[in-house]
Chain A
Amino acid sequence: AQSVTQPDIHITVSEGASLELRCNYSYGATPYLFWYVQSPGQGLQLLLKYFSGDTLVQGIKGFEAEFKRSQSSFNLRKPSVHWSDAAEYFCAVGVGSARQLTFGSGTQLTVLP
């Protein structure tokens, strides 16, 4: 069965610093990959997606992610973090006939002023 691992439960960065959130997946074929962001008490907002093609994908709010097949990874990056980026971030894999999403357990991002 497919699985998604987000090794970092909580990350703290200073405003203006760079950010990388890690995501590893386990799946037999090339998966469809997603990053979502969730603010407290809110639903999930899609940041970016990878289906095929260029392994570096750009998303909203200045985020990007790189698909590395050899490492089964899809890490999220941002060159300069803003205080408004504080939230929980979820990596997800799209698999199955229902095209359901399997999510990681999330990484909580704290941004220091």
Chain B
Amino acid sequence: QLQLQESGPGLVKPSETLSLTCTVSGGSISSGSLYWGWIRQPPGKGLEWIGSIYYSGSTYYNPSLKSRVTISVDTSKNQFSLKLSSVTAADTAVYYCARSTIAVAGRIVYWGQGTLVTVSS
């Protein structure tokens, strides 16, 4: 059974870079035709897709965040990561890592449990 687990600091200062890692177990991150991605949810609010990375390395970002976001994969560790620069309080959210079904980026089947990141000085 595929499992995803987010890790990273729970508190980030304004203007700094938020960095999260998602560790994948029960499957290989380099398996063909898979999309890995990040979604966030501000406390008490709805879901926002941040971006996805294809197994080949191609990336797709939400234009609203594109200038600040980087998603990358480390196949040697079976992990992928999120970096969000120049954070503000508006970036406070639960961040989920996720995997889509084979070849369909938008059908998000597997989710991590989520990790709350608070932006505050």
Q: Do A and B bind each other?
A: no
